[in-house]
Amino acid sequence: MSDGDRIVIVGAGVAGLRAAERLRETGFDGEVIIIGDEARRPYHRPMVSKQLVTGTIRPIDAYIKPYIEIDAHWRLGTRVTHVDTKQRTIYLPGGEELWYDGLICATGVYPRHLRGAPRHDPRVRVLRTVEDSIALRRALTTSTKPAVVIGSGLIGCEFAASMRYLGRDVTLVGHAKAPLYRFGPIVAEEVTKIQKEHRVNLAMNSEVRHWISSKEAFGLHLTNNQLVVASCVVLAIGSVPSVDWLRGSGLNIDDGVLCDAYLFAEGADDVVVAGDIAKWPNLRFDDKPRRVEHWMNAVDSGRAAAENLMAGRQAAKPFCPLPRAWSTIYDVRLMTAGLPALGDDTVELSDNITGFLRAGKLVGIAGWNRPRQMLPWMAELERRLPVPDTAPVPVPAPALAPVDTLPDPFEGTDPLKVEEDWLSMPLPESLLREAV
């Protein structure tokens, strides 16, 4: 890229913002345009299920302060409808076209809808945006009846804790035999204990059989035969990559945007991908492309994607981070590093720290309420998962097949619309005392 060039970033989340910063840090002096369909500048999305939904901070407090002046042109509240990678042009509503020399795709994911759940009832909500947290708070004020959260993963557990903070009764409904079961038996046991201590009604090994809707409330008939009454229901059952705008672009958008180890989208030389939608092989683990939906990955990949776009395919460096993530449930911090999901077995490494083994090799760790003790284990994990010396040589993109039919710009579903190093995040007082 040279200084007269234009780089367009689609997606004004943390990955897009960190990519813009890195472009400037590496000396790019051309035009940077950031397009985002939310009407807001990038904010701390993890706060949506925690401080924002409880109202302990205002939306304005959640904005991310850029590290440096990025001198970008912001197009907020604007949804990119499609892209022609051959013509290097993106399309905006109203027939507007924008050319680019380099494109950074960072459009994240949107919440999955639960089959059978009412789609247009304001009492059935998801949690991804600031607007979602505002709408949910509004829904909660219409009745004092309990809330129900469907999905016992991280966001579901965090939201249940937030409801208890607000003094609301809440039921957590989940498929698995315990909440957060994928983080191993220790975490599952501890989170079950803490949710019960806070009087969260746990309905595990179950799902909704029938929705009974009345003006006052919902009745949810569960497969474990419980009948739960709720004034509002939150769906926290996972997410779907926001790739509909890339249909017909020639890129592979099967569960995210398929990239090489350098975050270049397969099929185009001037397109890189960052954040929750990037599906790339992290060579620390193997050569299988995967997505990682965590804050630090969005930060790291945003920076790496920008750097590699500037360097070009031939000089690019493989993106091989040690993934790390956190969650706060009540005042307890869950931390993970590596890829626990790859494990086929678990081992207790030390008190409240679980190791995840794949074919006997450590590939991930999860620590419940042990922030300090996690540090040496993270270093150990990093040592055991070295970046290979020989990364595959970047392959120039093949010529794109002609795109016969451009997609209908109005097609597709509308996505519903702290940092950085989690080690430096403020820890709850109770943990600091314990650490000392």
Ligand X SMILES: Cc1cc2nc3c(=O)[nH]c(=O)nc-3n(C[C@H](O)[C@H](O)[C@H](O)COP(=O)(O)OP(=O)(O)OC[C@H]3O[C@@H](n4cnc5c(N)ncnc54)[C@H](O)[C@@H]3O)c2cc1C
Which residues of the chain form contacts with ligand X (CB under 6 A)? 10-16, 35-38, 45-46, 48-49, 79-80, 106-108, 127-128, 155, 242, 245, 275-276, 293-296, 298, 325-327, 415, 417
Pairwise CA distance, residues 152 & 201, whole Å: 12
> For ligand X, which is the closer residue by CB, 208 or 296?
296
> For ligand X, which is the closer residue by CB, 107 or 346?
107
R_g (Cα) of the chain, nearest Å: 22
What minimum distance in Å lies between the beta carbon of 421 and ligand X? Answer: 12
> For ligand X, which is the closer residue by CB, 133 or 217?
133
Structure tokens at 82: 């499609």
> For ligand X, which is the closer residue by CB, 83 or 217?
83
Pairwise CA distance, residues 150 & 157, whole Å: 10
> For ligand X, which is the closer residue by CB, 15 or 259?
15
CA distances from 275 to 2, 27, 186, 259 (A): 25, 22, 29, 12
What minimum distance in Å lies between the beta carbon of 28 and ligand X? Answer: 19
Residues near 159 by beta carbon (within 8 Å), at least 6 away in sequence: 49, 53, 127, 149, 234, 236
Buried b or exposed e, range 163-196, using 16+ CB within 10 angstroms: bbbeebbbbbbbeeebbbbebbebbbebbbebbe
> For ligand X, which is the closer residue by CB, 188 or 334?
334
What minimum distance in Å lies between the beta carbon of 97 and ligand X? Answer: 15
What minimum distance in Å lies between the beta carbon of 253 and ligand X? Answer: 12
What minimum distance in Å lies between the beta carbon of 395 and ligand X? Answer: 25
> For ligand X, which is the closer residue by CB, 200 or 334?
334
> For ligand X, which is the closer residue by CB, 16 or 340?
16
What minimum distance in Å lies between the beta carbon of 258 and ligand X? Answer: 16
For 400, other C-beta atoms within 10 Å of its C-beta total 14
What minimum distance in Å lies between the beta carbon of 299 and ligand X? Answer: 8
**Of 76, 66, 73, which is closest to residue 22 (Cα–Cα)?**
66
Residues near 232 by beta carbon (within 8 Å), at least 6 away in sequence: 123, 124, 125, 136, 139, 140, 142, 143, 147, 148
Pairwise CA distance, residues 63 & 234, whole Å: 24
Query: In this structure, are residues 201 and 116 in contact, taking their beta carbons and an 8 Å threshold?
Result: no
Pairwise CA distance, residues 389 & 392, whole Å: 10
> For ligand X, which is the closer residue by CB, 161 or 217?
161
What minimum distance in Å lies between the beta carbon of 8 and ligand X? Answer: 11
What minimum distance in Å lies between the beta carbon of 365 and ligand X? Answer: 15
Residues near 44 by beta carbon (within 8 Å), at least 6 away in sequence: 14, 62, 63, 64, 418, 419
> For ligand X, which is the closer residue by CB, 250 or 275?
275
Pairwise CA distance, residues 398 & 414, whole Å: 31
What minimum distance in Å lies between the beta carbon of 214 and ligand X? Answer: 29
What minimum distance in Å lies between the beta carbon of 324 and ligand X? Answer: 8
> For ligand X, which is the closer residue by CB, 242 or 369?
242
**Of 96, 206, 190, which is closest to residue 151 (Cα–Cα)?**
206
